[in-house]
Structure 1
Amino acid sequence: MTKLFKSRYSILMGYLSYFILFSFIIRSILFISACQHTDFKILEIIKFYLTGLFFDLGTGLLLVSFYALYLLIIPNRLYHKKWNKIVTYSLFFIFLLITLFSFFAELTFWQEFESRFNFIAVDYLIYTYEVIHNINESYPLPLLISGMLLLAVGVTFAFHKFKLFKNSFNSQIAFKNRVLISSLIIVPAILFAVIVKNSWAESGNNRYTNELSKAGIYSFFAAFKNNELNYLDFYSLIDSTKAYDLVKKELYENGTVFDHSKNTIKRTIQSTRTPYKPNVIMITVESLSADFLEHFGNTQHITPRLDSFANNSLFFSNMYATGTRTVRGMEALTLAIPPTPGNSIVRRTDNENLFTVGHVFKENGYTNTFFYGGDGYFDNMNHFFGNNGYDIVDRGRKLLDETYGGKRTLIQDNEVTFENAWGICDEDIFNVVIKDADEKYKQNKLFNNFIMTTSNHRPFTFPANKINLPAGSREAAVKYTDYAIGNFIDQIKNKPWFNNTVIIIVADHCASSAGKNEIDISKYQIPCMILNLKDVAKTNISKMTSQVDLFPTLWNLLGWNYTSEFFGKNVLDEQYQPRVFLGTYQKLVYMKGDSLVILSPQHKVDTYLYNKAKNEQKPAQLPKEITDQGIANYQAAFDLFKSGKLRIK
């Protein structure tokens, strides 16, 4: 082995050693960070370091395999040329910077998501404008770049000091020996890429241990490769007819009449209440975890207005988000569907003309509008909303050529008082909403508004002199968002359209979903409240509910009769049995009462009993009807979307 460090392969071996050493350091830093959230057993620590070494070595071999091929084919007479030295130094330095940047990115990504690279990192690579500006506003980028350059120079100097460049360029090695050495690098690299799956690291119940076992770069490419999973190929199935029958049985409530067609959940729902049609404004708050509110035990007093609204509204005090990203929240709040594996439907192809919440509003004479303070091109939001019956108002940098079903209006510079990488501040987007509502009121139009806020997102910046906390922290951003929502409600109380307007405040997802368990149920709990409902007393709905249940419950209170293809239910119905859907990109969760079913690729089904008071989930054998019900919901949801049955006929 030591001879390789004195041969043509000395640079390659040095780079591989550097990569493994720095990967070890990064893993150790992440381990120290994770210790703040969970306890590790000695065997778990040994496990993730050894598994991590395996993944680091495999990833390192992949990184140097092309160079190993180059070292194999270039003859000695050319290898000693000056141009080869220039090319080698240049490529070495570039690859050094790339890996150093990836190590830095892993640290920042973990800080935000407490995870190795996943689909989110792949998404962020696409939306470079928002991400680069976000990094620039969150971190001292010039210092970080300078630091990485200095570190790269330092590593290069170390290579020079250990004579790795000199040994490589002065080496004479026969072709047959190069074949042997390069083969010992390239063949294992190919086998690693073809055989080894990133999921091999996920062998334990401690999510942090699983994540620490992975290699960041390999996780990134694994996520890029597997950004959409076919439920029918990778997950447990039951008979299709049985699946739909189980879903229908669960969805049945008073006033429901199902369509007799096969493999559908289409039904008509009739209410016994006197119908009325208010305007509806839904404020979807970025990353608003339930535990930010005093109602859920927070003692920082950062949501005084939201706590006040919760105490004087129809308050869903036990609601759960379906996912961990904004597009998952949008999916649940517009399609009322369990999360399908892979990307959210908002980001997928063939997601036009679907049966949405907006469609029900449109059938009742409403104009639907999606308001976003950033560029709606991000995460495919404009395409999804624009092609599903919504007009769009956003802060786009320019009008795109894409044609939407509705109209698109750009927020103008004179309407903006504060803006960061993710968009305008919450106060500004609310002012735009008020202006739009005034115009629609003059035109005697009913409106249904979907507002997506942005201020409670890193870099957590907002206008000065609004609250008593400095910008830059999550807590400050939450308090500013609370202030902005309160100010918005105060302003519209004097509007002529207010008395006939219902306001919904709901989170898209939590600030963090990471915990000791792969799926930490408590981290998915979000606040949700409906304000200004006519003839509805303030009520605390403590039943376990999902985002998908929000609008079916509202429409019942409004006394509407409507056609439904939603998985959501009226939670006030006497036959309602609490259940929720939630998950990650691959893990799909169905929880009914304290029975927890987790579906994973490779047809894996794990079952637990969940103790909310202790936030514990213990492996348990559940009745077959519970696991079948969980499978049925996800199987039917995937089939309805992929087969096109969710499209408006």
Structure 2
Amino acid sequence: MYPQKIKPFLYLGFFYLIVSLIVRIVFFFHPITTAHFGFFEVLKVLVIGIANDVFVFILASTFLALYFLFLSDSKYKKPYGHTILGALVLLFFYILLIPNNIFKQYGGSIAEVALAFIGLKIICFALMLFLPSKRIKIRNTLYFITLFLYVLLIVFNAVSEYFFYNEFGLRYNFIAVDYLIYTNEVIGNIMESYPVVPLFLIIFAITTAITWVIYKKTKDELKSLPNFKQKLVLLGSFILLVGISLVCLGVTTQIKSSNVFAEEIEANGFPKFYWAFTHNELDYFQFYPQIDQKQAESNFLSQFSAPLLTRNVTSEQPELKKNVVLISIESLSAEFMQHYGNEQKITPFLDSLADRSILFTNLYATGNRTVRGLEALTLCIPPTAGESIIKRENNKNKFTTGSIFKSKGYDVKFLYGGYSYFDNMQDFFAGNGYGIVDRNNFKPEEITFANVWGVADEDMAKKAIQVMNAESKSGKPFFNHWMTVSNHRPFTYPNGRIDIPGDAKSREGGVKYTDYSLRKFFEMAKKQDWYKNTVFVIVADHCASSAGSTELPMDKYRIPAMVFSEEFIQPQKFDKLMSQIDLMPTVLGLLNFNYQSKFLGQDVFKKEFQSKAYIATYQDLGFVKDGYLTVISPVKKIKQYTLSQKQDKLTPEFSIYYDEKLLKETNKKIVDDAISAYQSTSYWLKNNQLNR
């Protein structure tokens, strides 16, 4: 009898394993998977992957096991049925009417979810209590719905994992958690990026068909329900399997492979999502390698002329109170520009502007998300493990580029075409003294086009000109940080602006339209009185993609940056390796600012500048210096690569890093430098030493 009672689990489990296997095979052959696999490595990935899937399915079956556990005819007999129904009704009114009930104390929508669940439970229980002749039909209907939800989750998760992998070259991570939180932007993005209606129709059709097959094969199991003793045996067996699965998952999820893609393909998305949800911050001092704290600080601060965290930056020249406009461009990889070898001519304006600017040709982003780029340009510190500072609770009153300008009497603002609550930008910038201009400040007639991420860049350009004109009339200089949005999936924009249709949804179109919008901005700016007294800083927030066969592929972090100002900035190329966190200290140096600094980036034109870069994901912290890439990771792991240089055939004066070779023996001096940088930054943040 017992084997018959597990038929629903066997059918669902088999379906889940088949779907997961198909997803893995697709990932093996996906274009983003740049690694190559030998036969035995493929076999290893599949074996570990199947094991992960089995253990995850057992854990996910907990809800189905509870559903079967509470199936019973005896609970509808007097007096149990009426007592249970009465208790459910009392619980419903407790949640509905008591202001400080236990559900509402958790905040969010938990109370509403509990109320809906209990309400549905009351309806179903009452029907089965008062309509015994319909009990089997009602139970079968509820069983079909339960199976449908399980099958839908399996199918929908497979589709979601594919699209996530297609975008990031990874299974679920912190970004997936963000997507769950910011449902409006994410659902809107999906609606605008993909053929959602046909896709959902296919998903529901497949789900319905599979559910019907499993239902027909297993519905007879509901005719004879196990008694209390049998349920205890089944429950005990299931609890044992859950315990084994938890232990085994702890082992299989720690098995490492020769490259990142192998680890991602053999992994299961559900544990990765759970891990990301519960680990949005990583304690450096718990998970990462360390050296003596005083030695770490001494090593790190030795790069500055005054080896102190708080130090005086002085200039022999008089300060220049020029306006500064910092434009951080969404997802603009260096490879999109002709100056870096692109032949598509999708950034004609930026390429022309680069010829008249200081062009930083060997600059690397600190991360692969917008908040990382904003953090690097605003705080000028290396990235730290876990989420960006912008998204953390302790993100206010920091020492920022805005605080420097504000101390000099500048009007300081953050401009964003979307709703700045996204990614916690509003909380961060407002909490650090920035005025905010976002989509909330637009009148309907000022918006010619918008998608889920915000108004089109050309609309934001017009608004920026309005803001800057108003600031100029106040008699104060201004510092405005504008974050663009149009070069983001779904890559939609107004038709008729460029030669790529706005509904083509192509990344090249997104890049070219952003370039078009920036041209329009500069055309408008050039007509304003404040234009010649303004320094424009143009830089990407991060690259378009960060997927690669190693943890931190260098070419996926290289971004363009330039500083332009008519009759002030003399065109030149700066080819030394540098970090995104060095850009704003360099701009402040060009303005001859005198200030007390806590920035951890350097002015690249100072004689003490040390050429280096910081590149990171949420876990892996990379440090590039002297031809080495050092990566420190949880749990206290260290990898070091030697980096070769390659001259681009189109632009031989530029070099990019490639062909990363893992060293058997590490260069200890560089390792110590890497640890010193990340350990010191984490320590100072933890102790609020980077506050104003």
TM-score relative to the length of structure 1: 0.92
Letter in 2 for 1:576: F
Among 517, 522, 530, the residue aligned to 1:484: 517
Once residues 75 and 463 of structure 1 are traced to their aligned partners in structure 2, the CA distance between those partners, rounded to angstroms, is 60
Among 425, 443, 447, the residue aligned to 1:412: 443
Once residues 674 and 60 of structure 2 are traced to their aligned partners in structure 1, the CA distance between those partners, rounded to angstroms, is 41
Q: Cα offset for 1:13?
A: 1.5
> Size of the alignment, in residue pairs?
621
Once residues 220 and 364 of structure 1 are traced to their aligned partners in structure 2, the CA distance between those partners, rounded to angstroms, is 45
Letter in 2 for 1:627: V
What SS class does the counterpart of residue 647 from structure 1 fall into? coil
**Residue 160 of structure 2 is aligned to residue 110 of structure 1:** no
**Residue 560 of structure 2 is aligned to residue 527 of structure 1:** yes
Letter in 2 for 1:436: V
Letter in 2 for 1:33: H
Once residues 43 and 544 of structure 1 are traced to their aligned partners in structure 2, the CA distance between those partners, rounded to angstroms, is 39
Contact 2:623 2:631 in 1 (8 A): yes
Contact 1:62 1:190 in 2 (8 A): no
**Residue 249 of structure 2 is aligned to residue 196 of structure 1:** yes
State the match for 1:206 in structure 2: 259
Which is further off, 590-599 or 269-278? Answer: 269-278
Q: Cα offset for 1:201?
A: 5.5
What SS class does the counterpart of residue 30 from structure 2 fall into? helix
Contact 1:373 1:395 in 2 (8 A): yes
Once residues 24 and 369 of structure 1 are traced to their aligned partners in structure 2, the CA distance between those partners, rounded to angstroms, is 50
Letter in 1 for 2:29: I
Letter in 1 for 2:53: D
State the match for 2:284 in structure 1: 231
**Residue 74 of structure 2 is aligned to residue 41 of structure 1:** no
State the match for 2:210 in structure 1: 155
Q: Cα offset for 1:295?
A: 1.3
Among 292, 307, 311, the residue aligned to 2:355: 311
Once residues 30 and 472 of structure 2 are traced to their aligned partners in structure 1, the CA distance between those partners, rounded to angstroms, is 52
Return closer, same or farther for 1:476/1:199 CA change in 2, 3 Å cut-off: farther
Return closer, same or farther for 1:388/1:198 CA change in 2, 3 Å cut-off: farther
Once residues 475 and 462 of structure 1 are traced to their aligned partners in structure 2, the CA distance between those partners, rounded to angstroms, is 12
Return closer, same or farther for 1:301/1:197 CA change in 2, 3 Å cut-off: farther
Return closer, same or farther for 1:385/1:193 CA change in 2, 3 Å cut-off: farther
TM-score relative to the length of structure 2: 0.86
Once residues 527 and 72 of structure 1 are traced to their aligned partners in structure 2, the CA distance between those partners, rounded to angstroms, is 60
**Residue 336 of structure 2 is aligned to residue 289 of structure 1:** no
Return closer, same or farther for 1:529/1:199 CA change in 2, 3 Å cut-off: farther
Letter in 2 for 1:413: P
Measured against aligned partners, the alpha-carbon deviations of 1:415-441 in whole angstroms (never above 9, x if no partner) come to 111000100011011111100111111
Q: Cα offset for 1:647?
A: 1.7
Q: Cα offset for 1:478?
A: 0.4
Among 470, 473, 476, the residue aligned to 1:442: 473
Q: Cα offset for 1:349?
A: 0.2
Once residues 236 and 357 of structure 2 are traced to their aligned partners in structure 1, the CA distance between those partners, rounded to angstroms, is 69
State the match for 1:616 in structure 2: 659
Letter in 1 for 2:506: S
Contact 1:8 1:71 in 2 (8 A): no
Measured against aligned partners, the alpha-carbon deviations of 1:494-527 in whole angstroms (never above 9, x if no partner) come to 2110000011110000000001112111100000
Q: Cα offset for 1:294?
A: 1.1
User: Over aligned residues, Cα RMSD in angstroms?
Assistant: 2.0
State the match for 2:9 in structure 1: 12
Once residues 208 and 17 of structure 2 are traced to their aligned partners in structure 1, the CA distance between those partners, rounded to angstroms, is 18
Letter in 2 for 1:618: K
Return closer, same or farther for 1:43/1:272 CA change in 2, 3 Å cut-off: farther
Which is further off, 284-293 or 37-46? Answer: 37-46
What SS class does the counterpart of residue 7 from structure 1 fall into? helix
Q: Cα offset for 1:203?
A: 1.0
Letter in 2 for 1:304: P
**Residue 433 of structure 2 is aligned to residue 379 of structure 1:** no
Contact 1:322 1:328 in 2 (8 A): yes
State the match for 1:405 in structure 2: none
Return closer, same or farther for 1:577/1:462 CA change in 2, 3 Å cut-off: same
Contact 1:198 1:218 in 2 (8 A): no
Letter in 2 for 1:242: Q
Once residues 120 and 375 of structure 1 are traced to their aligned partners in structure 2, the CA distance between those partners, rounded to angstroms, is 18
State the match for 2:54 in structure 1: 57
Once residues 78 and 159 of structure 1 are traced to their aligned partners in structure 2, the CA distance between those partners, rounded to angstroms, is 27
Measured against aligned partners, the alpha-carbon deviations of 1:27-47 in whole angstroms (never above 9, x if no partner) come to 212222147633222222222
State the match for 2:587 in structure 1: 554
Return closer, same or farther for 1:197/1:376 CA change in 2, 3 Å cut-off: farther
Return closer, same or farther for 1:513/1:185 CA change in 2, 3 Å cut-off: same
Q: Cα offset for 1:158?
A: 2.0
Gaps of 5+ in 2: 77-134, 647-656
State the match for 1:581 in structure 2: 614
State the match for 2:402 in structure 1: 358
Q: Cα offset for 1:98?
A: 2.3
Rg bigger for which structure? 2
State the match for 1:243 in structure 2: 296
Contact 1:65 1:186 in 2 (8 A): no
State the match for 1:399 in structure 2: none
Contact 1:273 1:559 in 2 (8 A): yes
